[in-house]
């Protein structure tokens, strides 16, 4: 994706903003637009744009009513239709954008039933980087079979972006590698960004997306129902996720997942992931590093 496309994605995301804030966002210089990763709105505070080096305040204090308007625009004035994800604190928007929300949680009989009285919002500008996974994909098939792979980087290092393109590449296949049936458990709606049943991001022709479903619940569901060759998930963070992945590995299914870790040594030091390592669930890791503003990707064989 080039600079012009990055600017276009920025302007498409700005369309979700209320009019006053949208006009301010559109006045940003093109070089800034191309680099913005998120819009951040906090009631009573200036709207900011998130750049690689931090947040840049814009000259407009966000009114609480504008957060309500943002929600209406993001749901196309149908909050009821978006109730399932709204109560979880996010909305998937047509075009492949995701709005995260904070406010007052409404509890009923011990369960979260709604989110209202919005206090802040984050509009993430998801940008596809088609092709970044293509040089890596052949290395994930030692001996001609996909080897379960982890994608590692610190927070904000580009794991989800690489995961999305890796799913696309594996699902598409190539001359030496047939397309893979992939079940993508998109718990937070950030990889495929499903809107009204249709992925807004290109995740490939042989990919089945289970949207807004916890990984621990979704993994056994797709194992039973979809006959996947690979199950892909973003951000393993819970022991329940790990138990489900160990089960899937025991069924002979390949796994593709992301974890917050700077490298394999840091991964080995985290107690949460010890079971994955002891059970040898994953064979390879793709480590993402950044140097001189450029992301680099290296495939490593896990040593355990």
Strands 149-153 and 254-260: parallel
Q: How far is CA 53 from CA 4, 37, 278, in A?
A: 21, 11, 38
12 within some domain: yes
Same domain as 95, residue 11:
yes
Same domain as 290, residue 220:
yes
Same domain as 152, residue 85:
no
Q: Which residues touch 135 (CB under 8 Å, ≥6 apart)?
A: 297
Give pLDDT, residue 1: 54
Q: What is the H or E stretch that residue 230 is in?
A: strand 230-233
Same domain as 160, residue 292:
yes
Same domain as 120, residue 145:
no
Total number of domains in the chain: 2
Q: pTM of the entire structure?
A: 0.79
129 within some domain: no
Same domain as 262, residue 154:
yes
Instruction: Render each residue's pLDDT in the chain as its tens digit; 304 residues.
Output: 568 889 999 999 999 999 999 999 999 999 999 999 899 999 999 999 998 788 999 999 999 999 999 999 999 998 888 888 888 898 888 877 889 999 999 888 877 778 999 999 999 987 788 899 999 999 999 988 999 999 999 887 889 999 999 999 999 999 889 999 999 999 888 899 887 888 988 999 999 999 989 999 999 999 999 999 999 999 998 999 999 999 999 999 999 999 999 999 899 888 888 878 888 999 999 999 987 768 899 999 987 6
* DSSP string covering 23-86: HHHHTS-HHHHHH--EEEEEBTSEEEEEETTEEEEEEEEBPHHHHHHHHHHHTTT-TGGGHHHH
Q: Which residues touch 270 (CB under 8 Å, ≥6 apart)?
A: 261
Domain ends where: 97, 124, 151? 124
Give pLDDT, residue 167: 98
Give pLDDT, residue 291: 79
Same domain as 91, residue 170:
no
Same domain as 171, residue 206:
yes
Same domain as 294, residue 217:
yes
Q: Is 7 left (phi over 0), alpha (psi -120 to 50) or beta?
A: alpha
Domain of residue 52, residue span? 3-124
148 within some domain: yes
Report the DSSP beta bridge partners of residue 98. Answer: 92, 124
Q: What is the CATH number of the domain that holds 65?
A: 3.30.450
Q: How many residues does the chain have?
A: 304
Domain ends where: 66, 94, 124? 124
Q: What is the CATH number of the domain that holds 255?
A: 3.40.50.300
Same domain as 280, residue 158:
yes
Count CA within 13 A, CB hemisphere, residue 176.
11
Closest CA to 198 of 125, 92, 99: 92
Q: How far apart are the first and last CA of the chain?
A: 37
Query: Residue with structure tokens 């750049």?
Result: 51
Angle at which helix 3-14 crosses helix 19-26, to 10 degrees, equals: 160
Same domain as 265, residue 152:
yes
Same domain as 148, residue 120:
no
**Six token digits for residue 215:** 């990984």
Domain ends where: 124, 153, 183? 124
130 within some domain: no
């Amino acid at each position: 994706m080039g600079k012009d496309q990055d600017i276009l994605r920025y302007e498409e995301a700005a369309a979700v903003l209320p009019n006053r804030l949208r006009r301010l966002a559109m006045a940003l210089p093109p070089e800034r637009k191309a680099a913005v990763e998120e819009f951040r709105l906090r009631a009573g505070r200036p709207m900011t744009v998130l750049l690689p080096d931090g947040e840049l305040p814009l000259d407009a204090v966000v009114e609480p009513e504008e957060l309500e308007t943002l929600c209406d625009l993001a749901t196309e004035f149908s909050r009821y239709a978006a109730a399932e994800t709204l109560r979880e604190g996010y909305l998937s928007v047509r075009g492949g954008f995701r709005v995260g929300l904070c406010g007052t949680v409404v509890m009923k009989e011990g369960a979260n039933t709604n989110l209202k009285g919005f206090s802040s919002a984050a509009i993430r500008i998801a940008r596809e980087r088609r092709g970044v996974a293509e040089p890596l994909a052949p290395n994930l098939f030692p001996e001609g079979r996909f080897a379960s792979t982890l994608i590692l980087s610190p927070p904000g290092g580009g794991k989800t972006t690489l995961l999305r393109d890796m799913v696309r590449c594996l699902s598409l296949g190539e001359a030496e590698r047939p397309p893979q049936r992939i079940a993508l458990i998109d718990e937070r709606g950030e990889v495929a960004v499903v809107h009204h049943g249709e992925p807004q991001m290109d995740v490939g022709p042989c990919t089945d997306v289970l949207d807004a479903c916890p990984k621990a619940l979704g993994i056994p569901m797709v194992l039973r129902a979809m006959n996947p060759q690979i199950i892909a998930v973003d951000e393993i963070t819970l022991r329940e996720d790990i138990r489900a992945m160990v089960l899937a590995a025991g069924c002979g299914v390949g796994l593709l997942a992301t974890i917050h870790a700077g490298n394999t040594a840091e991964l080995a030091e985290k107690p949460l992931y010890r079971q994955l390592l002891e059970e040898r669930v994953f064979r390879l890791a793709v480590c993402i590093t950044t140097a001189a503003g450029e992301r680099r990707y290296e495939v490593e064989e896990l040593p355990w």
